[in-house]
Chains A and B, each alone.
Chain A
Amino acid sequence: MKDKLIIKVEGLHKSFDNLEVLKGIDLDVHEGEVISIIGGSGSGKSTLLRCINFLEKKNKGNIFINGKKIKRSANEINKLREKVGMVFQRFNLFPHKTVLKNVMVGPVVIKKKNKEQVEKNALKLLENVGLEDKADVYPAMLSGGQQQRVAIARALAMEPDVLLFDEPTSALDPELVGEVLHVIDKLAKGGMTMLIVTHEMGFAKEVSDRVVFLHEGKIEESGTPTEIFDNPKSERLKSFISSIW
């Protein structure tokens, strides 16, 4: 089953005004794969994820989700986003909703599912991220690590085919990083397909099937964690790794 393509990116280009941020990205993500994206600040990691989720409009190239090429129609993009979950650096929980309602709002509003069923499922998801006792609390009362775990549960509630993480632990105090990584690790072991932008090299090495090194809008090198971290080929990757360890 590892052969089913969830995401296929072909020759993706993206510019902001005159600034070319992505200069031809090709990337395949298969079902059950965990891919880490590493690279310096400004190399285009966030932009790549945001293009895959259509939060940014690509300039050139193709993106296929589940083998389907995406057109511009708003309806189609909304439908697609249901299949592609996203977890942000700054959590972006909905502050006016309780933790439980944050997790429920997607299925209830978008899929118009039965509330009781959704609630049951949401509570189970909260249990999976270790926050079932916080169901009725508002996000402002939670630590960053807890908020990020809620954000993961919220994304999972839509039953996505793939989860995109954009530096999920960068906004956290060091002592809270572990609890979030633990949840992501659990998802990986459960077979969730994931694309993770991260600076946690130890974690990337441990959890990933493949690591992609982005440099100035291009994939400079990609391979297994061992290839990337222990036998980097390009000079840029070597110096990036030595700078970050």
Chain B
Amino acid sequence: MNFIINLFTPFVEFFTVVFKYAPKFDKAIIYTLELSIFSILLGTLIGLIVTTLKLTKFKVLQKIAYFYISIVRGTPLLLQLYFIFYGLPLIGLEFNSFTSAIIGLAFHSGAYISEIFRGAIVSIHYGQEEAARALGMSKVQSFFHIILPQAFKRSVPSLGNQFIIAVKDSSLASVITITEITLTARQFSAATYNPFPILFIAGVYYYVIITILSKSLKRLEGRLRVDER
């Protein structure tokens, strides 16, 4: 009898902690969601703008776009966040921690998103633009009515991947004092001396957020496929 109780005690203790602390993540979850959503939206906007720069015929603008991308790709996100939060104030550019995180995360995913868009745009068969131009469309009309909608559809799977990465990357905002899920988990771990159930909670929350996100993306993909055989 004692033997069986001994076997179950750790589980009971584990889940007691889990159920006690899980609700205390409410603010942390909101932070994580806000960081993810803002950085995805802003990152997509940045991505679109940078794609346009890359596709213009102005060499200077192209150079700027590629310089930006090489910086983002060539340095760790962690360092980028430190730089924005601790470095920029030294030259008079000071943002609060939340704004810094959004800027850092958005600039980061914007670079990757712009590459996704560019790839999708150049993958559209040139016959599409020719047909549009032959009808009498201007370059701009053909881009917005013919090329971009097809490119957007083609970019959804990789875009979805990038969105999932953005959710995970939001955990790095913990290093600049934002009490999102990861930092909250660390604080509770330290307070309870019991990291295992606490980290378990954090993991479950991330998993649920990402699963919901990827399910919605799959549904969007499905809906965009109506024009396929």
Please give the residue numbers on chain A whose beta carbons come within 8 Å of chain B beta carbons, in ascending order.
Answer: 53, 55, 74, 78-82, 84-86, 88, 90, 92-98, 105-106, 109-110, 138-141, 151, 154-155, 158
Tell me whether B130 is interfacial, beta carbon within 8 Å: yes
The residue from A78, A90, A96, A98 contacting B127, defined by CB atoms under 8 A apart: A90
Contact yes or no, A94 B128, CB < 8 A: yes
Which residues in B have their C-beta under 8 angstroms from that of A79? Answer: 136
CA distance A159 to B132 in the complex (A): 15
Among B133, B135, B150, chain A packs the most CB atoms within 10 A around the CB of B135
Expressed in whole angstroms, the minimum distance between the Cβ of A121 and any Cβ of chain B is: 15
Contact yes or no, A158 B135, CB < 8 A: yes
Expressed in whole angstroms, the minimum distance between the Cβ of B33 and any Cβ of chain A is: 31
Which residues in B have their C-beta under 8 angstroms from that of A74? Answer: 138-139
Chain A residue nearest in CB terms to B126 = A92
Please give the residue numbers on chain B whose beta carbons come within 8 Å of chain A beta carbons, in ascending order.
Answer: 125, 127-128, 130-139, 141, 145-146, 149-150, 153, 226-229
CA distance A53 to B145 in the complex (A): 21
Which residues in A have their C-beta under 8 angstroms from that of B145? Answer: 105, 109
The 11 listed contacts between A and B (C-beta, < 8 Å) are A53-B134, A55-B130, A84-B134, A94-B146, A95-B150, A96-B227, A105-B135, A110-B135, A140-B229, A155-B134, A158-B136
Expressed in whole angstroms, the minimum distance between the Cβ of A71 and any Cβ of chain B is: 16
Expressed in whole angstroms, the minimum distance between the Cβ of A100 and any Cβ of chain B is: 13
- The secondary-structure label for the interface of chain B is helix
Given A92-B127, A94-B146, A110-B141, are A138 and B226 neighbors across the interface (CB < 8 Å)? yes
The residue from B135, B138, B146, B229 contacting A155, defined by CB atoms under 8 A apart: B135
Expressed in whole angstroms, the minimum distance between the Cβ of B197 and any Cβ of chain A is: 49
Chain A residue nearest in CB terms to B135 = A106
CA distance A94 to B128 in the complex (A): 7
Among A79, A85, A93, A110, chain B packs the most CB atoms within 10 A around the CB of A110
Given A94-B128, A94-B146, are A55 and B133 neighbors across the interface (CB < 8 Å)? yes
Which residues in A have their C-beta under 8 angstroms from that of B130? Answer: 55, 88, 92
Contact yes or no, B134 A55, CB < 8 A: yes
Contact yes or no, A138 B227, CB < 8 A: yes
The residue from B125, B131, B136, B146 contacting A78, defined by CB atoms under 8 A apart: B136
CA distance A123 to B228 in the complex (A): 23
Among B131, B132, B149, B228, chain A packs the most CB atoms within 10 A around the CB of B131
Which residues in B have their C-beta under 8 angstroms from that of A93? Answer: 131
Chain A residue nearest in CB terms to B134 = A86
The residue from B132, B139, B141, B153 contacting A96, defined by CB atoms under 8 A apart: B153
Contact yes or no, A96 B134, CB < 8 A: no
CA distance A151 to B127 in the complex (A): 13
**Interface pairs A-B: 6 shortest CB-CB:** A82-B136, A92-B131, A138-B227, A86-B134, A92-B127, A106-B135
Given A138-B227, A140-B229, A141-B229, are A81 and B136 neighbors across the interface (CB < 8 Å)? yes
The residue from A55, A88, A95 contacting B227, defined by CB atoms under 8 A apart: A95
CA distance A81 to B133 in the complex (A): 8
Chain A residue nearest in CB terms to B150 = A96
Known pairs A81-B136, A88-B131. 16 more at Cβ < 8 A? Answer: A74-B138, A78-B133, A78-B137, A81-B133, A82-B135, A85-B135, A88-B127, A92-B127, A92-B131, A94-B146, A96-B153, A97-B227, A106-B137, A110-B141, A138-B226, A155-B134
